[in-house]
Structure 1
Amino acid sequence: MNVRTLLVVLLFLFPVASWAQGYADLGGSAEGFDVPQRGYQFDFPKDHGPHPSYRIEWWYLTANLQGADGRDYGIQWTLFRSALKPAETQSWQSPQLWMGHAAVTTPDTHYFAERLSRGGIGQAGVTAQPFEAWIDEWRMAGLDFDALTLSANGANFGYNLSLNAQDPLVFHGDAGYSVKSADGQASYYYSQPSYAVEGVLHLPEGDVAVTGEGWLDREWSSQPLASDQSGWDWFSLSFEDGTKLMAFRLRGGRGDFTSATWIDAEGTAVALPDGSASFTSLETARVAGRDVPVQWRVTLPDRGVDVEVSALTPNAWMATRFEYWEGPVTVSGSHKGRGYLEMTGY
């Protein structure tokens, strides 16, 4: 039995709820795990690496790209870590589970792929210095977060990209302590939202040279949602004047909880509290058998933002083990630009 076959067998032996604990039940119990605390002092490069005593963590990169063929593209590269218990062992008994997602979105098509691994055997993981995150042959790597190489592939797509940071890291919420509900659930959350990107996409019609801008999110927690919160709408928007906006809405039975971070053209971030941003669905599309908002009005009155956010293609559905919508968007209105939108729970 080869390693991949053995992995598949072992994954099927794990209850599906084990994965759901990390990705679908983010409001579940955090008993036994560490939980984020206000006042945490980030330690780099250590914090670029994994935190196995927390239940859920991700390294999440998206990029808006333009091809030498004149078309717009988007890419996603994500590595998720989910823990069955707060420990790590270098064997098949590791309680750390890994899941990778990669995608390329064109104006016409959305390609995606998924990889799964158990921790402890070297098939997937993250090291802090030099930085490397991987699952199988998919890689995000560099001496640190300032300069990275990125690669992934699927049945009908692939990419090889280089990323160079143009501005400092951004810390969301209270110095990286990002509150997610009125009950106080929170995560540690920071980003590098200012990568210059160049490289090649490998598509069925041939290779396409691309350039553009990338945004990397780092987040970890053990209970980032309240028990009544069913999903979220998350926006990362880069405007033509050099300013940027991260904003999200968490949908719950007791109403929405929102948060936003305004980033000026020099990279200085200002966190804005619940209620500062508003989100209105303007148009939906039938995607994967459900109605999904593909055009939004987003407002941030404190910064004079009143924009329409439109999907490059409505069909950017990630039909992975835990399904969601993720794709590039264009921005018009008070500010013009581009960005990425993620929607879960539809």
Structure 2
Amino acid sequence: MNVKALLVLLLLAPPALAQGFAGLGTDAEGFAIPERGRALDFPRDHGAHPDYRIEWWYLTATLQGADGRDYGAQWTLFRSAVAPGEADGWDSPQVWMGHAGLTTPEQHFSAERFARGGIGQAGVQVDPFTAWIDDWHMTSTARAGADAYSALHIAATGPNFSYDLNMRAEGPLVLHGDNGYSVKSAAGQASYYYSQPFYTVEGTLNLPDGPVAVTGQAWLDREWSSQPLASDQTGWDWFSIVLQDGHRLMGFQLRGDQTFTAGTWITPQGEATALPDGALSFTPQGTAQVAGRDVPVRWRIDWPEQGLALQTEPINPQAWMDLTVSYWEGPIRVTGSHDGRGYLEMTGY
């Protein structure tokens, strides 16, 4: 069986079809399970965790051209283990998948790569840090002694698009949940989850009409687990938002028999406040016909305790990642009690 066929079977096994990539975590037998109280260890935890079932390195960037035109870029490397542990060559049980997206107000581009672990086609190296699949890469350009994620270069190429971006962090890493232990359901499924949400970006987007120089902001998410979602959860709505006053918000809801929410409020200095289930509410405000389905592309986010009432609007409502597992993902504008920009990812629609 070829690698792509194997990955398709893994991704489409019920209930993974609805949950997307995270649905791979529904069977955790033999794999390590996140434990509350385990301290994250850097730079080690920037690298791969082959004893866990699933993992990703996920970067989104909200960008603008010199004329003020809005763009968005996404770079993601997923690792999925067929069995726990690592081995050399073709004996490796690790399977890798890369996603890249680029959004303009009129167009959305996406691309996908697959690779087998153990043969050098894809992987993550801690020192010096680099994550890659084929010629796509996320590579540290940090100065000696600094955190590897304090400066990154990323690049990816797909049909009719490519991008080359440099970013530098202007704040610290942020741990979500209980010092990086992020609960995903009332039943207690959890992941290890942290972010670098403080990047400034500059680089070039290559589009069918030619290259565009851009600047902006970016957000890197790191997450790994073996059983992140409950069996009844059919998908999620995830937001990363940078407000004009320097605060940042990560928030998500997991849809199921009962909706589960969580989030993190981040000050401009990087101090994080975990928002428990029920603190945030996410209310659809408008849908669009996307890929033959109704997708809620406009949202209201409320945190009454903080006086936060945000309205989100997509840069391009048709930002559909038409890949092996399809989902909506794209840049958003934020208005209401605060103004800002961010990224929205929605799965299971």
TM-score bracket relative to the smaller structure: over 0.9
Residue number among 233, 251, 256 corresponding to 2:259 in the alignment: 256
2:56 maps to 1:58: yes
Residue number among 87, 90, 114 corresponding to 1:89 in the alignment: 87
CA distance in 2: counterparts of 1:72 and 1:13, whole angstroms? 37
Amino acid at match of 1:33: F
Map of 2:44 onto structure 1:
46
Amino acid at match of 1:263: I
Matches within 5 A, 1:166-185: 166-185=170-189
TM-score, length-scaled by structure 1: 0.95
Amino acid at match of 1:81: R
CA distance in 2: counterparts of 1:233 and 1:59, whole angstroms? 18
Matches within 5 A, 1:1-346: 10-12=2-4, 14=6, 16-20=8-12, 23=21, 25-26=23-24, 28-142=26-140, 143=142, 144-253=148-257, 255-346=258-349
CA distance in 2: counterparts of 1:13 and 1:104, whole angstroms? 26
How far the C-alpha of 1:15 sits from its partner, in A, is 6.4
- In the alignment of these two chains, the number of paired residues is 337
Greater than 4 Å deviation, 4+ residue runs: none
Give the structure, 1 or 2, with the largest relative contact order (CA under 8 Å, sep 6 or more).
2
Q: Is contact 1:27-1:227 (8 Å) kept?
A: no
Q: Is contact 2:24-2:53 (8 Å) kept?
A: no
CA distance in 1: counterparts of 2:198 and 2:254, whole angstroms? 25
Deviations 1:262-306 (A, max 9, x none): 001211111010000001001000100110011000001122110
Deviations 1:307-344 (A, max 9, x none): 10111111100011111100000000000000000000
Q: Is contact 1:230-1:251 (8 Å) kept?
A: yes
CA distance in 2: counterparts of 1:89 and 1:96, whole angstroms? 9
Identity of aligned pairs, percent? 62
CA distance in 2: counterparts of 1:279 and 1:140, whole angstroms? 32
CA distance in 1: counterparts of 2:180 and 2:305, whole angstroms? 21
Amino acid at match of 1:286: Q
Match of 2:26, SS? coil
CA distance in 2: counterparts of 1:37 and 1:136, whole angstroms? 33
Match of 2:89, SS? coil
Amino acid at match of 1:266: Q
CA distance in 1: counterparts of 2:345 and 2:233, whole angstroms? 16
Amino acid at match of 1:116: F
Q: Is contact 1:19-1:82 (8 Å) kept?
A: no
TM-score, length-scaled by structure 2: 0.94
How far the C-alpha of 1:155 sits from its partner, in A, is 1.0
Q: What is the Cα-based RMSD across aligned positions, in Å?
A: 1.3
For structure 1, the 5+ residue unaligned runs are 1-8
Deviations 1:190-231 (A, max 9, x none): 000010100111111111000000000000000000010000
CA distance in 2: counterparts of 1:220 and 1:12, whole angstroms? 22
How far the C-alpha of 1:24 sits from its partner, in A, is 5.5
Q: Is contact 2:22-2:54 (8 Å) kept?
A: no
How far the C-alpha of 1:13 sits from its partner, in A, is 5.2
Change (3 A) 1:184 1:130: same
CA distance in 1: counterparts of 2:331 and 2:92, whole angstroms? 35
Q: Is contact 1:27-1:229 (8 Å) kept?
A: no
Q: Is contact 2:25-2:53 (8 Å) kept?
A: no
